[in-house]
Amino acid sequence: MAYTAQDVKALRDRTGLGMMDCKKALEENAGDMDKAIDWLRKKGLAAAAKKADRIAAEGIVESYIHPGGRVGVIIEVNCETDFVAKTENFQRLVKELAMHVAAHDPAPQFVTKEEVTADFLAKEKEIAKAQAEATGKPAAVVEKIVEGKMNKIFEEVCLLEQAFIMNGDVTVSQHLSQKTAEIGEKLSIRRFVKYVMGEGLEKRKDDLAAEVAAQMGAAK
């Protein structure tokens, strides 16, 4: 099966990997786009694994304010050299990651699975069990519901485990691995914080009728 320059461009747009890698993937998979994506993903993950032990101590801190000014994110993404930190490709990646944190619901609370605390997991399990028991289902079914919920908890709260907001076919971790292979340096997300306007504040709820009645009473 032959492939065209448009196929190479389409594959590059979908994976974010280099043109030569995309051409090679299409050659190796007889022009089959889906197989080529799987081939590139495996190649990217393998290339990223070789760089896992390197030290990524450079990088940038990026901020993103969503239009309307009600959601903001600050994120630190690391690379190995100051040279890469200044490139447009790396800076675009960091901006996209900040936008992911801003847009994803539920908002990530940790970067990696290893950061999730035992106390957090215990609390989530307790909540999941209470919700499951409220359905009135048998204990065995409740246990299965809780197990399923806990299996998915990392996908909900860990940034690297979430489906990437700009390409739902890959996780943030897989996208980062693809970019590691493309850029040629170890890339890692160190930390982030998300601000939501008014979060944690108890909004005032005025009872207009009661207020008017009080004012009328005071006027007598």
45: domain CATH number? 1.10.8.10
> Does residue 213 lie within any of the structural domains?
no
Per-residue pLDDT tens over the stretch 162-182? 999 999 889 999 999 889 888
Q: Average pLDDT for residues 20-32, to the nearest whole number?
A: 84
Phi and psi dihedrals of 71, rounded to 5?
A: -135, 130
In this structure, is residue 194 part of a structural domain? no
How far apart are alpha carbons 47 and 186 in whole angstroms?
Answer: 10
In a domain, 78, yes or no: no
Residue 148's pLDDT is what?
A: 86
Q: What's the whole-model pTM score?
A: 0.65
Boundary residue ending a domain (106, 125, 156): 156
Query: What pLDDT, on the 0 to 100 scale, is given for residue 16?
Result: 58
pLDDT of residue 216: 53
Report which DSSP code applies to 159.
G
Res 51: pLDDT: 59
Q: What is the pLDDT of residues 140-165, one digit of tens each?
A: 888 999 888 888 888 899 999 999 99
pLDDT at residue 12 in the model: 72
Domain that holds residue 20: 1-50
Helices (H) and strands (E) in the chain, counts: 9, 5
> Is 34 inside any structural domain?
yes
Residue range 68-125, pLDDT digits in tens: 999 999 999 999 988 899 999 999 999 999 999 999 988 899 999 899 999 999 999 9
pLDDT of residue 159: 96
Does any domain span residue 40? yes
Question: In the prediction, which pLDDT does 52 show?
Answer: 60
Number of domains in the chain: 2
Give me the chain's average pLDDT, please. 83
Residue 7 lies in a domain: yes
Q: How far is CA 128 from CA 88, 144, 154, 173, 220, in A?
A: 43, 11, 14, 26, 55
C-alpha angle 105-188-116 in degrees, rounded to nearest 5: 55
**Residue 143 within a domain:** yes
pLDDT of residue 215: 56
**Boundary-marking domain end, from 156, 185, 212:** 156
Residue-level pLDDT at 37: 79
Q: Is residue 10 part of a domain?
A: yes
Q: Please state the rounded mean pLDDT for residues 5-10.
A: 84
